[in-house]
């Protein structure tokens, strides 16, 4: 792979190849431009990514005070329409071209209502070509029969962060209506969302309850977005919370930065303490890598059953966060195969490279 993949921005930078190319080449105007253009695009992209957190100091971990200085989501800014959401249905492992469905057509699709149904949801500024979708879908089908639905809400989630984060309310409603129209019982549904997609998953859960009185079976938040959601006065009605589904599990890999910091589900995993993930370059070099690790850990957990140990979330008066193992800690399986009756905060360490999970 050349360049660096920016998960939040869905852009691949190819500056690395360009810079190697120039190392032994004479400095001509063309070669000079080969360096300047990629470096310029890297800087402008990094600034764009940093705008998600409202931070101009790219890549630095924010203090909690800094994060709290940004307002709550202003839901009045929402401008999404129903056709902004695209649903792609995979019936089984051999489905190469998924079927594009709508709320009107999903009922005629006769999905198998007895098997687990998983919705996969990307975050801010990406779409269903996000690099974690396909490997996740492939692992799910290895477990047995499934319905897998790719959500693409790029039209509503690729605006400014203020508008995109407000759009999770109407988009949550549209997806809730789709789920109810599918005929699959909400309790059979598992929604897995990354970043702003986790917050969106929470709104789907809230809307399913408002519209039908029923709860989604499970929501998994892969490093739920922190900016504009994570501050003490924000009510749980404005973010993912543990009443949004029968079971809500969360993986924190980029706390105090793009990820939501305190526990917010029934089970909250803080791999490696939740902040600095081994094997990731510093945020100044790649602002998204820690945030994206949550997807890699989760996908691996579909086939590798690693243990996590019970811990305590502690925040001191300076808002420094520590995740401390309990004495004689309980052990549970991390990730996809977690015991859904478990509760609490859990810690484990990973390897720097795949396979990440230690068995």
Residues found near ligand NAG in the complex (CB under 6 A): 10, 63, 125-127, 154, 158, 318, 320
The tokens describing 358, both together, are 């230690």
Give the nearest distance from C-beta 107 to ligand NAG in angstroms: 29
Whose Cβ is closer to ligand NAG: residue 84's or residue 242's? 84
Tell me whether residue 190 is one of the annotated catalytic residues.
no
Residue nearest to ligand NAG (CB): 318
Contact yes or no for 72/62 (Cβ under 8 A): no
Residues 208, 238, 310: CA angle, nearest 5 degrees: 90
Catalytic residue among 146, 190, 290, 291: 291
Cα 221 to Cα 230: distance, rounded to the nearest angstrom:
14
Tell me whether residue 223 is one of the annotated catalytic residues.
yes
Whose Cβ is closer to ligand NAG: residue 246's or residue 276's? 276
Contact yes or no for 223/252 (Cβ under 8 A): yes
Give the nearest distance from C-beta 84 to ligand NAG in angstroms: 12
- Kindly state the greatest CA–CA separation across the chain: 69
Give the nearest distance from C-beta 287 to ligand NAG in angstroms: 17
Q: Which of 281, 301, 303, 300 is nearest to 291 (CA)?
A: 281
The tokens describing 285, both together, are 């070099």
Give the nearest distance from C-beta 136 to ligand NAG in angstroms: 18
Whose Cβ is closer to ligand NAG: residue 315's or residue 339's? 315
Catalytic residue among 55, 130, 182, 195: 195
Q: Which of 6, 8, 71 is nearest to 41 (CA)?
A: 6
Whose Cβ is closer to ligand NAG: residue 69's or residue 320's? 320
Give the nearest distance from C-beta 243 to ligand NAG in angstroms: 31
The packing angle between helices 196-212 and 168-182, to 10°, is 60
Tell me whether residue 195 is one of the annotated catalytic residues.
yes
Strand partners, 199: none
Q: Which of 68, 96, 84, 5 is nearest to 42 (CA)?
A: 5
Whose Cβ is closer to ligand NAG: residue 194's or residue 218's? 194
Q: Are strands 117-121 and 147-152 parallel, antiparallel or unpaired?
A: parallel
Q: Which residues are catalytic?
A: 195, 223, 291
């Amino acid at each position: 792979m050349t360049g660096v993949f920016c998960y939040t921005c869905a852009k691949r930078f190819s500056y690395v190849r360009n810079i190697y190319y120039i190392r032994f080449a004479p400095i001509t105007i063309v070669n000079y431009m080969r360096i300047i253009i990629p470096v310029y695009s890297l800087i402008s992209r990094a600034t764009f990514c940093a705008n998600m957190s409202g931070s101009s100091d790219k890549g630095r971990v924010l203090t909690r005070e800094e994060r709290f200085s940004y307002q709550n989501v202003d839901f009045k800014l929402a401008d999404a329409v129903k056709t902004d959401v695209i649903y792609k249905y995979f019936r089984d492992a051999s489905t190469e071209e998924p079927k594009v469905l709508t709320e009107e057509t999903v009922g005629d699709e006769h999905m198998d209502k007895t098997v687990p149904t998983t919705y996969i949801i990307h975050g801010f500024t990406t779409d269903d070509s996000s690099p974690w979708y396909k490997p996740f879908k492939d692992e799910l089908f290895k477990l047995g029969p499934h319905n897998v639905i790719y959500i693409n809400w790029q039209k509503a989630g690729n605006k400014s962060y203020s508008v995109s984060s407000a759009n999770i309310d109407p988009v949550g409603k549209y997806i809730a209506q789709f789920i109810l129209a599918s005929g699959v019982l909400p309790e059979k549904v598992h929604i897995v969302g990354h970043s702003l997609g986790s917050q969106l998953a929470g709104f789907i859960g809230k809307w399913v309850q408002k519209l039908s009185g029923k709860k989604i079976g499970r929501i998994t938040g892969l490093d739920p977005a922190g900016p504009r959601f994570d501050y003490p006065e924000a009510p749980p009605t404005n973010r993912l919370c543990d009443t949004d589904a029968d079971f809500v599990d969360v993986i924190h890999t980029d706390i105090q930065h793009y990820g939501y910091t305190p526990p917010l589900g029934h089970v909250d995993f803080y791999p490696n303490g939740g902040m600095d993930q081994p094997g990731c370059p510093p945020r100044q070099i790649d602002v998204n890598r820690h945030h994206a690790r949550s997807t890699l850990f989760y996908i691996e957990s579909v086939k590798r059953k690693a243990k996590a140990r019970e811990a305590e979330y502690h925040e001191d008066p300076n808002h420094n966060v520590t995740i401390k193992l309990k004495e004689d800690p309980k052990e549970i399986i991390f990730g996809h195969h977690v015991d859904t009756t478990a509760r609490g905060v859990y810690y484990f360490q990973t390897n720097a490279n795949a396979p990440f999970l230690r068995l």
